[in-house]
Amino acid sequence: MDEDTKHKLIQENEKLKAENARLKAILEERELLKTNELLKKENLDLKTSLNNEININEDAEIFSFIKRSPKRLKILESLENEDKIPKVISEDISDNSYNISKYLKTLKENDLIKCHNEQDKKYRYYGITPKGKKYLDLIKNNE
């Protein structure tokens, strides 16, 4: 083999080595991207699973909280379609005003109802929250 041919082969080998290195880098990058996408999906699935578990636990706690007291459920039902003052709620569920205040307080602490005019001491209006509506619907659908 003459020197010119040898030199051309060496140059061609160097070009091929460089091209192979570039192609390997592209393939590695693609593999990294695939792995990254798989990890992102797995991460999202794990977060979703964890959130569902947390929601199930919270759902069970709130569900139990409401079901332990028929009066709480009746109050939510009373507020389902319109906001009311405690006296009207008391009449709706046939209970005295003192007890209603205690029930309203615990329902409010659990974000199931809200008071629209907290500063007004005499005629506070209460309404059901979206969370309260969600649990009321869950309970009604499971009965």
Q: How far apart are CA 78 and CA 93, in angstroms?
A: 8
Exposed, middle or buried, 24 (CB in 10 Å: 0-12/13-18/19+)?
A: exposed
The structure tokens listed for 124 are: 């506070």
Q: How far apart are CA 104 and CA 24, in angstroms?
A: 68
Domain edges within the chain: 1-68, 69-141
* Average pLDDT, integer, range 56-76: 86
pTM for the model: 0.61
107: pLDDT strictly greater than 70 = yes
Exposed, middle or buried, 104 (CB in 10 Å: 0-12/13-18/19+)?
A: buried
pLDDT of residue 51: 60
Q: Evaluate whether the domain defined by 69-141 bears CATH number 1.10.10.10.
A: yes
Q: What is the mean pLDDT of the chain?
A: 86
53: pLDDT strictly greater than 60 = no
